[in-house]
Structure 1
Amino acid sequence: MARSQALTGILFAIGGTLIFSVNDVSIKFLSDGYALHQVILIRAFVAMTFILSVIGWSERGFTQLVTGRPRMHLMRVVIVMISNVTYFVGLAALPLADAVAVAYVSPIIITLLSIVFLHEKVGPRRWAAVIIGMVGVIVMLRPGAGVIQPAALLVLISAVMYAAGNLLVRHMGGTESAMTLSFYVQAGFIVVSLCMGLWVGDGHLATDEGLWAFLFRPWIWPPLHDWPVFLATGLSVGIGGMMVTQAYRTTEAGLIAPFEYVGMPLAILWGLVVFGTFPDAVSWVGIALICGSGLYVIWRETVRKREGDAA
């Protein structure tokens, strides 16, 4: 029974990660013609429709949306919003595989945050993995002549916020269901995106300067051929997020986390097929260092937990 449950969790993690990758490629595809907050708003409405449908059919129904921790949900919405905005602004300017590689530094960031906030002890081998991973990040940032690639730096900020959000989910998981967490995040996306649309949706802050064009572009009515892409990004977030959350709820995290790295080869494939980009030699070095160190950190966490359970 335990083996069957573990296999189910692994399949949920792989399936959810594969579906999640559609979100990245869809938003990168839409980044040339739309404002980020408009994309997020439409995505959130699609995802919310799916989430509410699932909640309505679930055994607990809409009663599970009642929460005694509104401030924690608000804090998580802010963290997730910052993580999304920084990631997608960076993604618009980076090759897909490069952005995903930098984002995969999150297990290393979680290790660092656990030292600061949870006062966990980290041994020399995990410290070595953290250092190697950060070297990989520096490679991806490509500093030269005192200039750091700003798009990769934004993705790094996103990874930090994503890690902080995961720690917050661990803290809230005892009282909040996966549906409750998903609902309030999407509700937050809708509110913030609508406010952004009212503020800058007319394009009065629009600019053609690099990174910020995606953030301040005026809203437009999407032509018919773009609606399937909007639908894809909303469903990928709703379905993929639910599958990954279910995997972590039912199966040991150390067993599940490595399977999320299937997103890396998929990002390389999406980048090649959809955008005609392929990682160069420098990117491959960064990808190897980040993914290798991240997987090692996850493995060490699993070993530590098992040794602690056996003690």
Structure 2
Amino acid sequence: MSALSDRPGLGILFIIFGVTAISVNDMLIKLLSGAYPLHEIVAVRAGVGLVITLMLVQVEGGFRLLRTTTPMLHVARGLMVVLANMTFYAAFAVLSLAQVTALFFVAPLFITLLSIPFLGEKVGPLRIGAVLVGFLGVLVMQQPWKDELETSRAVLLLPVIAAFFYAVLQVMTRRLGLTTRASAMAVYLQATFLIVAFCFWLVAGDGRYADRVESDALRFLLRPWVWPDPRDLLVLLCLGTLSGFVGYALSSAYRLAAAATIAPFEYVGLPLAILWGWLIFGEWPGPSVWAGCALIVGAGLFVFLREQRRHAPAPGRRRLWGRR
């Protein structure tokens, strides 16, 4: 593994910044979910994000960086992130911010497991055990032992499905990151969002299907386009700005460090989601969500500590600056 692709400290900084920006992004989308269709929000966000990522491409070396020898792999990666976003944000119309985020945090566990067969990364039995504890935390939050829930099982599964698509996306990022700059990968993602949002507008932009569905999650996807209120337009522009930097930050994180090292730091999003839910929406998690969060965060911290210990220098040897 080259020095460029094995810089865990920098990768961790990128993932923390990216997850914090995602948390703010999620809060803003939930704020807008009652008035605008998801594909309209995505279209504006992706348009602004594309401008920002193209600027980052220029900074990193120019438009020549957009040339690729693996176009289909980039297309597949773009579709994974679109599917992850659509299933994740559709749940916002029904579930609380903390609950959606908590259920989604099975993603780092999926990433750790997928890094074994697809990336050849070594994950020992103790870390595998920690991953299982994390899955138990997700199970506690979904409460499968209850016969009746306030929301349908299908809606509760949406964030978990999104987590799987996201995990596949990040494993693909790790593979592509050996030959493709983070800014170029971010451009491809924003372009994919724009294309998919445009297709949604062509098919359902007039809202013809919105009244035919009962689910609030589906209505969020199929609601007709409307001209944004000036105050909401500012929020949409903020979303686009965040989106441009999020794509770059996440791509950089998984280029610079092993997936099993980076993945646990995505748990920073859990307390942030609880904070926004409490401050903005007056939501407070129930006991099952708190218990699940404790299991997931505990599992993530254990995985991180094991990773740090594995890379620690042997006793009696000096660790040279910039070398592993």
Cα distance in 1 for residues equivalent to 2:89 and 2:303: 26
1:140 is matched with: 141
Query: Displacement, 1:219?
Result: 1.1
2:185 is the counterpart of 1:181: yes
Distance of aligned partners of 1:117 and 1:18 in 2 relative to their CA distance in 1, 3 Å threshold: closer
1:297 has 2:303 as partner: yes
Return the alpha-carbon distance in structure 1 between the equivalents of residues 256 and 133 of structure 2.
31
Aligned to 2:47: 45
Higher fraction of helix = 1
**2: CA distance between counterparts of 1:288 and 1:161?**
24
In the alignment, does 2:34 pair up with 1:32?
yes
Cα offset for 1:302?
4.6
The alpha carbon displacement at 1:195 in A equals: 0.6
Q: Which amino acid aligns with 1:47?
A: G
> Percent identity at matched positions?
42
2:255 maps to 1:264: no
Decide which of 127, 131, 150 is 2:154's aligned counterpart. Answer: 150
Q: CA deviation at 1:48?
A: 0.5
Q: CA deviation at 1:159?
A: 0.7
Question: 1:15: Cα distance to partner?
Answer: 3.0
- 5-14 or 209-218: bigger deviation: 5-14
> What aligned pairs does 1:1-311 form with structure 2 within 5 A after superposition?
10-56=12-58, 58-117=59-118, 123-143=124-144, 144-145=146-147, 149-206=153-210, 207-250=213-256, 256-304=262-310
Measure how far apart 1:198 and its partner are. 0.3
Q: CA RMSD in A?
A: 2.7
* SS class of match (2:283): coil
- Runs of at least 5 residues in structure 1 that lack an aligned partner in the other structure: none
Q: Which moved more, 1:257-266 or 1:207-216?
A: 257-266
Mapped to 1, the partners of 2:164 and 2:17 lie a distance apart of: 24
Going from structure 1 to structure 2, the CA distance change for 1:7 and 1:231 (only over 3 Å counts) comes to same
Give per-residue Cα distances to partners, 1:171-215, cap 9 Å, x unaligned. 111111111111111111111110111001111110342321111
TM (norm. structure 2) is 0.84
User: Quick one: distance in 1 between partners of 2:92 and 2:305?
Assistant: 28
| TM-score computed with the length of structure 1 as normaliser | 0.87
Letter in 2 for 1:30: L
Q: Is the 8 A contact 1:105 1:294 kept in 2?
A: no
Task: Answer yes or no: is the 8 Å Cα contact 2:68–2:180 preserved in 1.
Answer: yes
Q: Which amino acid is 1:160 matched to?
A: F
- Residue 9 of structure 1 and its aligned partner are, at CA, apart by 5.2
| Structure 2 unaligned spans of 5+ | 1-6, 318-324
Mapped partners of 2:307, 2:219: distance in 1 = 41
